[in-house]
Amino acid sequence: MDNAFTTVVGLLGGLAIFIFGMNMMSDNLQKVAGEKMKNILALLTKNPVLGVLAGALTTAVLQSSSATTVMAIGFVSARLMGLPQAISIILGANIGTTITAQIIAFKITDYILIFVFIGFLMSFIAKTERIKSVGLSILGFGLLFLGIETMGDSMKPLATSPVFINMISQVVDIPVLGVIVGTVMTVIVQSSSATIAVLQNLAATPGPDGASIIGLTGAIPVLLGDNIGTTITALLASIGQSRNAKRVAVSHSLFNISGCLIFIWFIPAFATFIQFISPAGPEIEVISRQIANAHTSFNVVMTLLWLPFIWLMVKIVTRIIPDRKTAAGDSDPAVALYLDDRLLGQPIVALQLVAKETVRCGETVRAAMHDMGAALRDKDAKRLDVSSRKAAAAGEVCQQVTDYLAELFATGLLNEDQVTRTANLMSAINDIERIGQLCGDVAQIARRSDFSDKASEDLRDAMFLAEEMFAGAMRSMASGDSDEARRVNEGNSRMIEIEMHMRKGHMKRVASKECSPSLTKAFNRVLSDIERIGGSCLNIVEAFPGTTSLDYFLFEDSDVLDSVK
């Protein structure tokens, strides 16, 4: 009983250290990678081959195919990527996830604590965040292997257990059972990298005859099951998402299940091939590398098989999850279209979504200002209400974006540069929300005030100038164009002059009985609110000075620039 307890505790403890180390390495590699990660992800918009490459490289950095798949689901759900592009990412992610197994296959047992010490020392004495992140990445790498070593030591007593050996022999003799075991393990642990690490350690444990306790032919079915189990995370992530997002998750499952159905019939031949391409030597010494090579070969072969038939996979998953036969309507302007909580763990991607949502909010507010200017001129109460609701809806989304950014800050995954630029972005979003609120105030006052025709024309001209300034501020924020920023500043000067001129004009109309004296307060209040809109436009420009712009957050900014012209 004591031996069994020690084995279980050692296995679970080693697994915990492994997953903790892998997550630490992944989180800090993201901080170190920074712009390089953005460049890799920019490939997502290219052809399928580059999509496969991007998926593989991204997964190699994130150390998780599930994270990359969830990322692709988020992009599709946010309408930033088409289904064929996302499927190519999934194919690449399945290749990228094999990197972990390849790293594990290296025998660096004697150097584990050196990595732990160097990583700790760098993170402890580092003066800059980048060096600290590098140190924590090295520390995570060391802990990853320390967890593997702990699991390996805890498995050694299993080699002398008749009960365990009998269970393993059942798995070896019945491949389907091995697939089930691998699937269940990965579903429970939620990490194929972790379960494959356990499999590599188990296979490297010698039995009574000195050979591997499970052997390569016994390990391959479990490996196939591990690949199926990792798709469960994607399926769970797609719950509540768009139909295309669900199709991405199904395509991930289809990829691995189809591979399992093909390879399970050729396990002996596949094992022979893997032994041929792997280093020679005693089975116990080389089987970890053989499992890693089997993992890589399986995913590379399946990617090559499916890559020319992405169109077919699109048809299959579309047939499985058909389009809903309802009339397509515009998205709710009061609900964020791009934000996805599942992507908070990938700040580069999350900030891309925030930038897209910010542009969308800005365009909604600009359209509301345009409609409001026309409604002020025509004294159209109904149109004032519509434009006011539109501005209020944009304000609600701005608040959702602010809350999302707060959660992103709370993850601690942003590097120093991202923190500074994101704080500026949050400031600009607050000003966009404030402009929406001011538009609502203008509409509320105008609805209950019977201004004269001339007064209404003045308010329309002021609102159109404010709209022009706001559009310029959004263009400046998107592109960092200093000319746009200059025009916004000039517009603010004109706004001050126009406001003074309009106030004087109103008083002349009051004196000539054209306007009611009782409307003076309302007229001045509307002008004051419009002037405050101009002030918020200046704040937006100042939040993104010079070369600083939304371009920093975006992988491809052409569509953003088009939307704010």
Give the model's confidence band at 565: pLDDT under 50 very low, under 70 low, under 90 confident, else very high. Answer: very low
pLDDT higher for 438 or 340?
A: 438
Evaluate whether residue 325 is within a structural domain.
no
Average per-residue pLDDT in the chain? 82
Nearest to 222 by CA among 101, 109, 303, 56: 101
> Count of alpha carbons within 13 Å of 400, Cβ hemisphere only?
22
Angle (CA) 296 300 305, round 5°: 150
DSSP assignments along 234-262, one per residue: HHHHTTTS-HHHHHHHHHHHHHHHHHHHH
346, 249: one domain: no
pLDDT at 452: 85
pLDDT at 345: 76
- Dihedral of the CA atoms 114, 118, 124, 126 (nearest 10)? 180
Evaluate whether residue 283 is within a structural domain.
yes
Helix, strand, coil percent content, the chain, rounded in steps of 5: 80, 0, 15
316, 382: one domain: no
Task: Tell me which of 257, 288, 320 is where a domain ends.
Answer: 320
User: Model confidence over 127-140: pLDDT tens digits?
Assistant: 887 888 889 888 98
CA 396 to CA 437: how far, in whole Å?
10
Tokens of 186: 């990965």
CATH number at residue 457: 1.20.58
Task: Tell me which of 320, 353, 371 is where a domain ends.
Answer: 320
Q: Identity (one letter) of the amino acid at 332?
A: D
84, 116: one domain: yes
CA 144 to CA 101: how far, in whole Å?
12
Answer whether residue 430 shows pLDDT above 90.
yes
pLDDT at 78: 67
Beta partners for residue 212, in sequence order: 206
Task: Tell me which of 264, 291, 320 is where a domain ends.
Answer: 320
Q: Identity (one letter) of the amino acid at 451?
A: F
Give the model's confidence band at 546: pLDDT under 50 very low, under 70 low, under 90 confident, else very high. Answer: low
The residue-averaged pLDDT of 73-90 equals 78
222 near 178, Cβ under 8 Å?
Answer: yes
3-state secondary structure of 328: coil
Evaluate whether residue 331 is within a structural domain.
no
109, 255: one domain: yes
- Please state which of the ranges 118-132, 245-259, 313-327, 419-433 shows the lowest mean pLDDT: 313-327
306, 400: one domain: no
Residue showing tokens 């593997």 = 148
pLDDT at 559: 47
Evaluate whether residue 500 is within a structural domain.
yes
147, 209: one domain: yes
467, 511: one domain: yes
Backbone angles phi, psi at 183, to 5 degrees: -65, -50
User: Model confidence over 163-207: pLDDT tens digits?
Assistant: 666 666 677 778 888 888 888 888 877 777 778 888 888 888 787
Looking at the chain, the whole-number percentage of residues with pLDDT higher than 90 is 16
Please name the helix (run of DSSP H) or strand (run of DSSP E) that holds residue 539, with its range, or none: helix 520-543
User: Model confidence over 146-169: pLDDT tens digits?
Assistant: 887 787 677 666 656 666 666 666
Tokens of 414: 């942003």
- Dihedral of the CA atoms 137, 139, 143, 144 (nearest 10)? 20
- Under 8 Å CB-to-CB from 8, ≥6 apart: which residues? 154
352 near 554, Cβ under 8 Å?
Answer: yes
Angle (CA) 268 269 275, round 5°: 90
Which of 29-38, 235-244, 302-311, 335-344 has maximum average pLDDT?
302-311
Cα–Cα distances in angstroms (integers) from residue 395 to residues 1, 440, 511, 561, in the given order: 63, 10, 39, 21
422, 472: one domain: yes
- DSSP alpha helix (H) spans, 126-230: 129-155, 162-173, 175-189, 192-203, 215-229
Residue showing tokens 């915990």 = 16
Evaluate whether residue 454 is within a structural domain.
yes
Q: Identity (one letter) of the amino acid at 142?
A: G
Beta partners for residue 206, in sequence order: 212
DSSP-derived letter for residue 206 is B
pLDDT at 557: 43
14 near 198, Cβ under 8 Å?
Answer: no
Evaluate whether residue 328 is within a structural domain.
no
The residue-averaged pLDDT of 357-375 equals 89
Answer whether residue 499 shows pLDDT above 80.
yes
pLDDT at 396: 92
355 near 560, Cβ under 8 Å?
Answer: yes
User: Model confidence over 283-337: pLDDT tens digits?
Assistant: 888 888 999 999 999 999 999 999 899 889 999 998 988 876 544 445 667 888 8
Evaluate whether residue 348 is within a structural domain.
yes
Give the model's confidence band at 41: pLDDT under 50 very low, under 70 low, under 90 confident, else very high. Answer: low
Cα–Cα distances in angstroms (integers) from residue 486 to residues 62, 111, 491, in the given order: 42, 59, 9
Domain span holding position 501: 341-563
User: Model confidence over 203-239: pLDDT tens digits?
Assistant: 887 877 777 788 888 889 989 998 888 887 678 767 7
CA 67 to CA 51: how far, in whole Å?
16
301, 348: one domain: no
pLDDT at 218: 87
CA 130 to CA 416: how far, in whole Å?
9
Answer whether residue 33 shows pLDDT above 90.
no
- Under 8 Å CB-to-CB from 313, ≥6 apart: which residues? 87, 251, 254, 255, 306
Evaluate whether residue 329 is within a structural domain.
no
Nearest to 253 by CA among 196, 316, 174, 159: 316
Angle (CA) 530 532 536, round 5°: 115
185 near 229, Cβ under 8 Å?
Answer: yes
Domain count, the chain: 2
352, 457: one domain: yes
Angle at which helix 129-155 crosses helix 112-125, to 10 degrees, equals 150
417, 299: one domain: no
CA 244 to CA 315: how far, in whole Å?
12
pTM, entire model: 0.71
Cα–Cα distances in angstroms (integers) from residue 232 to residues 63, 184, 190, 192, in the given order: 17, 10, 8, 11
User: Model confidence over 54-81: pLDDT tens digits?
Assistant: 888 878 777 667 677 777 777 776 676 7
- Please state which of the ranges 34-48, 360-374, 397-411 shows the lowest mean pLDDT: 34-48
Nearest to 150 by CA among 21, 27, 247: 21
CA 197 to CA 149: how far, in whole Å?
10
308, 352: one domain: no
Looking at the chain, the whole-number percentage of residues with pLDDT higher than 70 is 87
Please name the helix (run of DSSP H) or strand (run of DSSP E) that holds residue 85, with its range, or none: helix 83-96
Which of 257-271, 372-386, 537-551 has maximum average pLDDT?
257-271
Give the model's confidence band at 258: pLDDT under 50 very low, under 70 low, under 90 confident, else very high. Answer: very high
